[in-house]
Amino acid sequence: MVATMERGYRYRFYPTRTQAELLTKTFGCVRLVYNLGLQARRDAWEQRQETLGYPATSALLTGWKKTPEFAFLNEVSCVPLQQTLRHLDTAYSKFFNGEARFPRFKSRKRSRRSAEFTSSAFTFRDGELRLAKLMETPLAVVWSRPLPDGAVPKTATVSQDRAGRWFVSLRIEAPVATAPPTTKMVGIDAGINRLLTLSDGDPVDNPRQEHRERAALARAQRSLARKEKDSRNREKARVRVARVHARVADRRRDVWHQVTTRLVRENQVLVIEDLAVNNMLKNRRLARAISDASWRMFRTLLEYKAREYGRTLIAVPRWYPSTRLCSACGVRAEKMSLSVREWTCTGCGTQHDRDVNAAHNILAAGLAVTACGADRGPQRGTTSRAGSRR
């Protein structure tokens, strides 16, 4: 039996004016129902010490639809409204399990514009996707990649990003990605000058996506700053700024997908550093470059792909001195500034490339953790400022 897992396939589509108007209204109704449900649950606890679950809020939704104030909720499909109450229930569960903070009200300007349709509210047949209340005309989806043979979507989530682009995400059961077993292992050092440096010496250049668009972003932001608040021209200028950010994010995501897929397919064991990105962003000189590198996205993609391909991913503790340890003899050098790209070990005289040496040490530390079951590394001694062994 072929192993399967739930996967999402995201596509861009171009709605007609009628479709766009109804979907925009659906987004607003979804946000309203979520906020009404959250307020009802908060009031029930504060006033009566009563806990409301999804069934109770779903019954409230039926009552809201019958009132003149919220009668417009009947104009959109009921399924996204019910789904947003399920999402609210999930948010409460995650809060009580310590996985997330307390649910907050959705904002019209800042919240994500999306609506989830279950299989009862859409049809997918012969490559055509039709949503409830819009069954007459299928969505003009750009099928940039084919769905797996025989795949039947479980849900269809329609969304619109800040740049005004429309997307639909289909959740399906798909075969698990596989790759032939290999004995290769790699240590990975993340950086800024080089996006990644591997323990085999192979570097991944940093494309600096944000830096490439910095001039265009500055022009768009200056134009936005000159527009009158709440005017149509300001909204157009805001969309132009969002489009620049979207270009940067799309290119960055594409690079990381290619890099992480290659690493996972080629290596059985991958060792990375457990970087404290939030703390590193407090450095005002490097914050912009660190954000542009997007190390958090790299780790997120690498983690789920390693699970899918059956690879082993090890995270070395963030305080491990991978840069200052000599990968040849284990002697620790004194602290060095970021400007030092090469250094010579005072213990054995080996000359190191800073990043390649760090990648070697990261790999060694990861293998030590695997073998010993403890936080162990290759260090065998340290040096004083004079270079003497101690």
C-alpha triplet 171, 176, 182: angle, nearest 5°: 150
Is position 342 annotated as part of the catalytic site?
Answer: no
DSSP state letter for 76: S
Residues 187, 361 contacting (CB under 8 angstroms)? yes
Lookup: tokens for 249: 């994010």
Closest C-alpha to 223, from 215, 210, 214, 234:
234
Strands 155-160 and 194-198: unpaired
Catalytic site residue from 189, 213, 235, 274? 189
Backbone angles phi, psi at 135, to 5 degrees: -70, -20
Known active-site residue 355: yes
User: Which one of the listed residues 89, 116, 292, 355 is annotated catalytic?
Assistant: 355
Out of 116, 210, 273, 292, the active site residue is 273
Rg (C-alpha) for the chain, rounded Å, is: 26
Cβ proximity of 129 and 168 under 8 Å: yes
Could you tell me the two tokens for 100?
Answer: 């997330």
- State phi, psi for 161 to the nearest 5 degrees: -85, 180
DSSP 3-state assignment of 255? helix
Whole-number Å distance between alpha carbons of 259 and 312: 17
Residues with a catalytic annotation lie at: 189, 273, 355
